Structure 1
Amino acid sequence: MVSADTLEPSVQPGPPSAEKPLLSVEGLTRVYGKRIGCADVSFELFPGEVLAVVGESGSGKTTLLNCISSRLAPTCGTVHYRMRDGASADIYKMSEAERRYLMRTDWGFVHQNPIDGLRMTVSAGANVGERLMAVGNRHYGNIRRAAIDWLARVEIGEDRVDDQPRTFSGGMRQRLQIARNLVTEPRLVFMDEPTGGLDVSVQARLLDLLRGLVSDLGLAVVVVTHDLAVARLLSDRMIVMKDGRVIEAGLTDRVLDDPRAPYTQLLVSSILQV
């Protein structure tokens, strides 16, 4: 059993090891009765890499994301995560408490609807500060300063630190959710349609912000999206899903510029015709 002590964000990772994946998924399957959510999905994600999971509605990409982020138990298959001490841990052999702690520290999850990832009745600063308190920070002044700093990094002014998220626009709420997730310096972030439901101009601004933060912080990211433009802008590699199965996988530019599977060709051409 992995001790929660190994999750402490104060523990520094060892020397970079490019050959060792941060996340390893093997044979992941989730079924709902006779319906397949996802089937026999395998991939590796390396430190600092962004993987996009794309496909039409009902393709299984959100089920896959929920399974690898421990939000939904798979029917079979394994998900291994390389802890900060270098040990590989099977997340579904951890206790529920250990998985929750992992989600509060080393992982982040950005929801499509920021209401699902924020506490709407407390201030913006408190939303960011809560995550710091979850990892042991107790000094109010330090927490508030960190919150203000992170709000600035996601382009929210200091004068909004005491305002509740319900007074924010959709784009501001999404940026606040990003700050809340990144304040503990996670190594892995899951994103579920992070630009969904936003106006085009707001999407562009948010994507530019995300791309900068991912690069500056060296984050590993799994991003689910139906928008191939989002995948191209953010990801290094991508997998294409249909009916719960991986149809094609590879470097993002190769998959989008030279799709080999007929379904991927159809997906790319349909987007280009819009």
Structure 2
Amino acid sequence: MSAVPLLKVSDVSKFYGSRIGCRNVSFELYPGEVLAIVGESGSGKTTLLSCLSTRLMPTSGIVEYHMRDGQYRDLARMSEAERRFLMRTDWGFVHQNPADGLRMTVSAGANVGERLMAVGDRHYGNIRAAAGDWLRRVEIEEDRIDDQPRAFSGGMRQRLQIARNLVTSPRLVFMDEPTGGLDVSVQARLLDLVRGLVHDLGLAAVIVTHDLAVARLLSHRMMVMKDGAVIEQGLTDRVLDDPREPYTQLLVSSILQV
């Protein structure tokens, strides 16, 4: 793991009028590291993810990203065009509802190929071959390459969304409840796939989830949020096996009792 952080987050807060989205969040994320942000609904984890991924601008604080040229850039000071380019190339974003991250009326191959075109690939044969390769990697039969996502099951759509995001070899992927709404057996296969891809590609990832089993399986480190604030953080196994805060203890025990 590199000694230089990929993402530096300093005192990030987001307020909606008088309501707190998140407040005073600071951490560093390193290349190849997976961070899980966990907490109940309304804890602020999705607001924080939106601030990190530039979908929302923080009310205060700084999010800096280590660019490929070795410089850190303050994301809030980037132009809209620069941020869009980053999202299409160096970053990925996996939505809870795959329909939010796919174009449902074009083929599976076109969904994957669009990202390649965004980084300048114009050779149809190369794009189609890469799309077919990525469909295989996410366990979608290659003969489905011309089918539209609306003909796919929920689990297949989510795997297609992952292929669309990873085809450009991003360095950082954001995931918002990636297994939400899927059957348990489908969840297990998807998690196994994601864990393998993250490991093989050396991706850094920030995963928002309310499911502690997902956090344990995928993440190296974990942050627990409550009422917009990070109340506990540390290595995932440490936080889950020896939670220090009463709220974290309650979260862990409630999962064990289910």
1:27 aligns with 2:6: no
User: How far does the alpha carbon of each residue in 1:60-103 deviate from its partner, in whole angstroms, 9 at most, with x for none?
Assistant: 00000000000001100000000111111111110000000000
Q: Which amino acid aligns with 2:162?
A: I
Q: Which amino acid aligns with 1:159?
A: D
User: Corresponding residue for 2:53?
Assistant: 69
User: Corresponding residue for 2:24?
Assistant: 40
User: How far does the alpha carbon of each residue in 1:35-69 deviate from its partner, in whole angstroms, 9 at most, with x for none?
Assistant: 00000000000000000000000000000000000
Please point out which of 180, 192, 198 is paired with 2:176.
192
For residues 88 and 212 of structure 1, what CA distance do their matches in structure 2 show?
A: 29
User: Corresponding residue for 1:11?
Assistant: none
For residues 93 and 65 of structure 1, what CA distance do their matches in structure 2 show?
A: 18
User: Helix, strand or coil for the counterpart of 2:223?
Assistant: strand
Deviation for aligned residue 1:20? 1.0
User: Corresponding residue for 2:237?
Assistant: 253
For residues 88 and 35 of structure 1, what CA distance do their matches in structure 2 show?
A: 31
- Report percent identity of matched pairs: 81
1:92 aligns with 2:62: no
Q: Which amino acid aligns with 1:165?
A: P
Q: Structure 1: where are the runs of 5+ without partners?
A: 1-16
- Structure 1 runs (4+) greater than 6 angstroms displaced: none
Please point out which of 120, 125, 135 is paired with 2:109.
125
1:155 aligns with 2:153: no
1:242 aligns with 2:217: no
Q: Structure 2: where are the runs of 5+ without partners?
A: none
C-alpha RMSD over aligned residues? 0.6
For residues 90 and 262 of structure 1, what CA distance do their matches in structure 2 show?
A: 35
User: Corresponding residue for 2:119?
Assistant: 135
For residues 174 and 216 of structure 2, what CA distance do their matches in structure 1 show?
A: 17
Please point out which of 152, 155, 173 is paired with 1:171.
155
User: Corresponding residue for 1:268?
Assistant: 252
User: How far does the alpha carbon of each residue in 1:180-211 deviate from its partner, in whole angstroms, 9 at most, with x for none?
Assistant: 00000000000000000000000000000000
User: Corresponding residue for 1:204?
Assistant: 188
Q: Which amino acid aligns with 1:205?
A: R
Tell me the number of residue pairs that the alignment of Structure 1 and Structure 2 aligns: 258
For residues 230 and 155 of structure 2, what CA distance do their matches in structure 1 show?
A: 31
Deviation for aligned residue 1:18? 2.3
The normalised TM-score by structure 2 is: 0.99
Deviation for aligned residue 1:19? 1.9
Deviation for aligned residue 1:273? 0.5
For residues 29 and 136 of structure 2, what CA distance do their matches in structure 1 show?
A: 30
User: Helix, strand or coil for the counterpart of 1:86?
Assistant: coil
Deviation for aligned residue 1:223? 0.2
Deviation for aligned residue 1:218? 0.1
User: Helix, strand or coil for the counterpart of 2:255?
Assistant: helix
Q: Which amino acid aligns with 1:46?
A: Y
